[in-house]
């Protein structure tokens, strides 16, 4: 199968735009996180749920793009396409993290300057594969799977979902897939209500890998099921309303406080199990009404993935600055946060045009 055959389907541009909206909110979440005293009072409290929305969008798009192609496509060609799509930005994101690593030495990470260069380079090379590093290679001290670029953990679980889909779950009937999705939803709700939230998944230990898998299984395969059963209608202003809904969900303050953590768990379960599929359905049903809306969605969709992969190496500098200036308030920090946000958007667009698109084009020729 050549690439032109995959390009014949109409594109869900509004879903691309929503991915961009969610990616920008992820950046604002990471910029407000170090200003909080704990996970209960982060200003963008549910920003991490954008990752669960990414998984659902990914499952929907994968099902839409590939479900009816398997009679002329091999598992190998599927993985080639996924590697071509995902890996170039993974490599750039890890490289940027490596370049900035020693410059983020701070009171928060006092041992960075003691890490030998060979160890940092080893972590970078492993990061290029998106495989997680063991805690023995935790060179930053945050117990991250990818100490040079924290967000790599979600790409690791994205690959797991893609592997499960290609090798096994793509063959599921709608009934079997529905059962899997229901069981996954129960597991997700149980985890959220027990823990009080679904934050986690970025450490290579049993508990955190369980969180990562639970956060991946329901949304990704619910998105796949939605792509098989949904019959999109025609909805006007869908991008506007869906964007507002995404913002409301992700900017919602923590619910229930420390005394009633289960309440927040119920909120997050409802968001992921019910609201996110509704948003994706409405987005898939939306119709573009103006060229301006078309351009906005295309721009947001184009930068969404690069933005996600390049923002955290810059956030490390910001976190180090806050750590070195105890007592920094949101009033003092917001100009720097705005600078980081603007800078990462510009960097993401530059990375898209000068690196990601050319490298993917080259890989397409090499991988056939």
Task: Return the percentage of the chain with pLDDT > 90, whole number.
Answer: 91
**Angle, helix 276-285 to helix 13-32, in steps of 10 degrees:** 140
Which range (136-140, 228-232, 344-348) has the least confidence?
228-232
| DSSP string covering 178-240 | HHHHHHHHHHHHHHHHHHSS-----SSSHHHHHHHHHHHHHHHHHHHHHHHH-----BTTHHH
Tens-place pLDDT, residues 51-96: 999 999 999 999 999 999 999 999 999 999 999 999 999 999 999 9
pLDDT interval class at 49 (50, 70, 90): very high
Predicted confidence (pLDDT) at residue 10 exceeds the cutoff of 80: no
Tens-place pLDDT, residues 330-341: 999 999 999 999
Q: Are 310 and 347 spatial neighbours (Cβ–Cβ below 8 Å)?
A: yes
Greater model confidence, 105 or 220: 220
Sign for the pseudo-dihedral over CA of 66, 70, 71, 77: positive
pLDDT at 5: 44
pLDDT interval class at 289 (50, 70, 90): confident
Give the whole-angstrom CA distance, residue 22 versus residue 300. Answer: 10
Predicted confidence (pLDDT) at residue 209 exceeds the cutoff of 50: yes
pLDDT at 8: 58
Predicted confidence (pLDDT) at residue 43 exceeds the cutoff of 80: yes
3-state class percentages of the chain: helix first, strand second, coil last, to nearest 5: 75, 0, 25
Q: What three-state secondary structure class fits 106?
A: coil
pLDDT at 232: 86
Give the whole-angstrom CA distance, residue 59 versus residue 72. Answer: 20
Give the whole-angstrom CA distance, residue 258 versus residue 17. Answer: 35
pLDDT interval class at 175 (50, 70, 90): very high
Domain map (residue ranges) of the chain: 3-367
**Average pLDDT for residues 31-38, to the nearest whole number?**
93
Predicted confidence (pLDDT) at residue 11 exceeds the cutoff of 50: yes
Closest of 208, 278, 320, 355 to residue 56, by C-alpha: 278
**Average pLDDT for residues 268-295, to the nearest whole number?**
96
Greater model confidence, 231 or 52: 52
- The mean pLDDT of the chain is 95
pLDDT interval class at 262 (50, 70, 90): very high
pLDDT at 134: 94
Residue with tokens 């025609």: 234
Give the whole-angstrom CA distance, residue 216 versus residue 188. Answer: 9
pLDDT at 4: 44
pTM for this model (two decimals): 0.96
pLDDT at 6: 47
Closest of 363, 343, 366 to residue 355, by C-alpha: 363
pLDDT interval class at 3 (50, 70, 90): very low
Query: Based on the number of CB atoms within 10 Å of its own CB, is 134 exposed (0-12), middle (13-18) or buried (19 or more)?
Result: exposed
**Average pLDDT for residues 270-288, to the nearest whole number?**
97
């Amino acid at each position: 199968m050549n690439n032109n055959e995959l390009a014949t389907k109409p594109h869900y541009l509004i879903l691309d735009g929503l991915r961009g909206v969610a990616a920008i909110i992820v950046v604002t979440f990471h910029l407000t996180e170090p200003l909080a005293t704990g996970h209960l009072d982060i200003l963008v409290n549910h920003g991490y749920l954008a990752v669960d929305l990414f998984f659902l969008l990914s499952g929907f798009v994968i099902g839409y793009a590939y479900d009816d192609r398997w009679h002329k496509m091999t598992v190998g060609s599927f993985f080639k396409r996924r590697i071509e799509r995902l890996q170039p930005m993974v490599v750039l994101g890890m490289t940027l993290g490596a370049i900035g690593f020693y410059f983020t030495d701070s009171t928060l990470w006092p041992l960075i300057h003691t890490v030998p260069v060979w160890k940092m380079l080893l972590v970078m090379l492993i990061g290029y594969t998106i495989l997680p590093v063991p805690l023995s290679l935790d060179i930053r001290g945050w117990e991250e799977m990818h100490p040079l670029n924290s967000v790599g953990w979600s790409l690791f679980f994205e690959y797991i979902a893609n592997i499960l889909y290609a090798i096994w779950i793509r063959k599921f009937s709608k009934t079997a897939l529905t059962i899997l999705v229901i069981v996954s939803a129960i597991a997700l709700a149980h985890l959220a209500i027990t823990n009080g939230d679904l934050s986690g998944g970025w450490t290579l230990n049993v508990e955190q890998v369980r969180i990562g898998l639970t956060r991946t299984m329901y949304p990704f395969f619910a998105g796949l099921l939605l792509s098989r059963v949904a019959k999109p209608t025609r909805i006007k202003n869908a991008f506007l309303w869906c964007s507002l809904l995404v913002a409301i969900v992700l900017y919602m303050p923590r619910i229930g406080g420390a005394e009633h953590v289960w309440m927040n768990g119920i909120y997050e379960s409802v968001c992921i199990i019910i609201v996110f599929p509704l948003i994706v359905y409405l987005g898939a049903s939306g119709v573009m009404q103006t060229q301006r809306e078309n351009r906005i969605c295309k721009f947001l969709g184009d930068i969404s993935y690069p933005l996600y992969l390049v923002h955290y190496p810059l956030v490390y500098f910001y976190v180090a600055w806050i750590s070195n200036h105890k007592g920094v308030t949101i009033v003092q920090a917001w100009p720097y946060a705005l600078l980081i946000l603007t800078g990462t958007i510009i960097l993401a667009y530059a990375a898209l045009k000068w690196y990601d698109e050319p490298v993917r084009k080259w890989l397409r020729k090499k991988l056939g």
